Structure formats: C-alpha cells, structure tokens
Chains A and B, each alone.
Chain A
C-alpha cells in the first residue's frame, strides 16, 4: 500500500514555505492554494510546473524575471494569478523555498 502525504504531514517554515521540496505533490499544491485563497487554473499549473522543473534543474525556485521570460506567463498575468507577490506565492505552491535574488 502506498501512503500519500497530505498537507498535515508536511513541514512548513515560519513564512509558510515547505521545508522539504521532495514532499511536494499536486494534491499538496491544491491544499496550499486553498489555504492561500487561490482557485487553481491551468495557467497556475503552467507556472507551478515551470517552477518545479526549474528547481529540478538548478535546485532553486525561479525568480519572477525567470518565470516571465521563460514560462509564457507575463508579469501582468502573474500578478493576476498570484496577487500578493507572484514569485513568492508561486514558489510556495510549488513546494519550494523563497526565491533568492533579494540580497
């Protein structure tokens, strides 16, 4: 029997980012979205999947610039999809740490 983790089994840091990106699943993303008051659409998933694939490549959450340059979702749409800080919220839903670039 395969046990699937739910949002209750996952650890979050003080800012609400998942501690271990490996624990992520689409179901957990949906649960986080509900908590953040976001109704997930195909466009949200395009961004979340892009963020996951960037993480697999670089080990880091993508910055807003990288998302808007490479995922086909522009900045205006990013703010419509993830109103309260798009790169941060996208990283949160993708189960990743806070995007760097703020030094």
Chain B
C-alpha cells in the first residue's frame, strides 16, 4: 500500500485530501491527515466576531465532518519531519512513513516576537483577532467599551490575509457609528507598509476610503515595543502612538515543527517552487497554503487556486510525468468596508489589482476595486460556498489562473 500523508487539516489540507480521495485508487493509496486540532475553523468569519455579526459558534465545525471518510485522521502535534527518511514523528509517539508528503501546516500568530506584547495588557486592552479566542475576547471588551484611542497595528509582513487589518478598521468605523459613539473613538491604522496595502493601485484606492472614513494611517511604522504601562506602541525609528485599545496583528510564522525539521526560512516558511508548488529540496514533498514562502498573499483563495495544481502534480508524479508549472500566484479577496458594502480585488504574481468585474468579464456580479453592496453579499454568502463547495472539492466556476478579461488597465479615480 502506498502512503500519501497530509500535514495540516485546515483549508488547504482538507481541499487536497478531499480531491485526492476521489482520484486515488483506494486499493493502492492510503490517505492520512495529521492535525493537532479536531476543530476546523472558518477563518474568514473571525473578522465578524468582534463586532457581534457572527457568534463564535458560527465559525467552526469538526474536522471529521469536513474531511472525506476515505482519509484517515490522526489528531496529534508534529514533533519533526524527516524528509530524508520519508517519515514524520508525531507528539503522540507515532511515526508515520510516507511515499508522498503534502505540507499544509499554515502559519500562526506569534505575539511573543514583539517586546512587551504579552506583558500586562494582553487580552485586557491588547487583543488579536486572528484566533477565535482573541476575536471572542475582543467582542466582550467592545460590548462595554466607552471609547478612546483605538490603534490597529500590523507588526511585520507577511501576514495571513493582508486585507483583514483594513476590514477591521472599516468595520470598526461602521460598528461605532451604528452604536452612536463614533465621535468618541479615534481610529489609527499603523502599518509597516508604505501605504494602505501591498499593491500600489489598490493601496491608493483604499487610502482614499480610509481618509473618507476619518481613519488615520501611520505608514512605515515598524513596531519595536509595546509599553503596556504607558499604553503606547513604539517604532524602531522612535515614533510613539498612545492607545486605549490596541488591536494587534502580531508577527505571523510557520509552525515550530517546520523550524525543528530544518525545513523553513527565518519565518519558518518552506521554500517552494513558485509555479509547481513542489518543495525546492525534496521531490516527493508538496507545499501549499500559508506554509509556503511564495510571494503571494496568504489567503484561502490562494490555497484554493493552489490545491488543484498540487493535486494534478501529485497525480503526474505518480504516473512519472514532470510537474506542470500551473500556479500563477492568483489571489482574490473580498474586503468588507462597512455599511453593508464591500470591495473585491483579484491579482497574481505579475498583475496588481485592477478595476473591472469578476468572475464574468464586463458583467460581474462582483465589482473590482470599488465599493458595492454585491461584494458585501458575496463575502457573506462565501461561508456557505466554503463549507458546501470548496471543502468537499466540488467545482467552483472560476478559473485558477487570473484573467485580464473585463479588467481596466487604469483605476478611474487615479487616471
């Protein structure tokens, strides 16, 4: 019996498992997923939890319910991957050998990487919202908060879902307006980027939106320290921003098992071929989702576009055919902008987000790089699509490669 082992049963690992379950002969291939956590989180839902739009229980299901019965599941942490020996040692004492390995171990927030972050204020007036625990604690805090200086800080790039910090400040503007206390809240968005986003055109369009909503942007702010006594964050170049409520997106890193296996870069991300998604070091190791070092966004949409490439290349490898360099860095994201509107962006390694429509050229229904109610509905209906189409590996009628059809080369507001 040949063994296909998948490390990580989140968005990426689940999609690969469920698709391979349909394609690999059950008499010849055993499929096993390893994950430390029995719960599958719908991470795009976390952004709504602090504002009470989703309850915490709206954002998860058990992994066993989401993964095909054809795959075995082992719930344990990973001690070390030994790629030279084609095996993985688990925290529960088991050793799992493999013929082909898929690494989809994702990334995690590391508040310990910033000096002072875990001192006095953590979970009191310093919160993350990238974990359900953090998002839920923040929801409780906001319910009784009377206002003051809200500072959102992105510690260091890259981060999972680079639009989430923007969505947070947009939704905060909406939430406090709805509660009749917007005038009591000062919102500051402090980012290490030179502007609102990573790509110049989207950055300019989003900067306009921030300004209109009265949100102050502090660009090129590289945090060096949280001073929880003084309630201020300090940058390495000596700037200080006082806060009453600090929302942090701490440094994101690949999991520690990648580091202990000597397979990662300085942030524990795995060197991966940009187009084939094969490990740059080991032929029978495939990497996708947030665990890679690829220069595209760490986002569920990217994992989705990647998983088809990984599945196809694994099937090719089994047949002895060279891998297909089919991944183009394609990413798209809905950005909630508050007041029941949203923006959508679509881009890849080479082409930055442009105005236009998606997925059908000139029709949509989603408008690219502009605020529309339909984009907001798209984001809300996405939860159903996630559980019922994406995770089971059903076909979604969008192309894996980015298309230029229906896109305008210039953003009207900038032209």
Chain A residues in the interface with B (C-beta under 8 A): 63, 65-66, 69-70, 75-76, 78-79, 83-86, 100-103
Contacts and interface: CB of A to CB of B under 8 A. Distances in A.
B158 A66 contact: no
Interface string B288-309: 0000000111100000000000
B403 interface: no
Nearest to A65: B266
Contacts of A66: 265-266
Contacts of B237: 79, 83-84
Contacts of A63: 266
B220 interface: yes
Contact of B157 (A76, A83, A84, A102): A102
Nearest to A70: B266
B273 interface: no
B236 A100 contact: no
Interface of B: 156-158, 162, 193, 198, 220, 224, 236-237, 265-267, 295-298
Given A75-B236, A85-B220, A102 B158 contact: yes
Contacts of B158: 101-103
Nearest to B296: A103
B266 A69 contact: yes
Nearest to A85: B220
B156 A65 contact: yes
B193 A102 contact: yes
A78 B156 CA distance: 16
A100 B295 CA distance: 7
Given A65-B156, A103-B296, A103-B298, 8 more contacts: A66-B266, A70-B266, A75-B224, A75-B236, A103-B157, A103-B158, A103-B198, A103-B297
A81 B16 CA distance: 47
Contacts of B236: 75-76, 78-79, 86
Contacts of B220: 85
A103 B266 contact: no
B157 to A, nearest CB: 5
A96 B295 CA distance: 18
B410 to A, nearest CB: 18
Contacts of A100: 295
Nearest to A102: B157
Contacts of B267: 65
A71 B344 CA distance: 41
Contacts of B198: 102-103
A101 B224 contact: no
B299 to A, nearest CB: 10
Contacts of A75: 224, 236
A54 B158 CA distance: 20
A103 B224 contact: no
A62 B158 CA distance: 14
B250 to A, nearest CB: 14
Contacts of B156: 65
Contacts of A79: 236-237
A97 to B, nearest CB: 12
Nearest to A62: B266
Nearest to A63: B266
Nearest to A100: B295
A46 B390 CA distance: 49
Nearest to B236: A79
B235 to A, nearest CB: 9
Contacts of A83: 237
Nearest to A76: B236
A85 to B, nearest CB: 7
Nearest to B224: A75
19 contacts: A65-B266, A65-B267, A66-B265, A69-B266, A75-B224, A76-B224, A76-B236, A78-B236, A79-B236, A84-B237, A86-B236, A100-B295, A102-B158, A102-B198, A103-B158, A103-B162, A103-B296, A103-B297, A103-B298
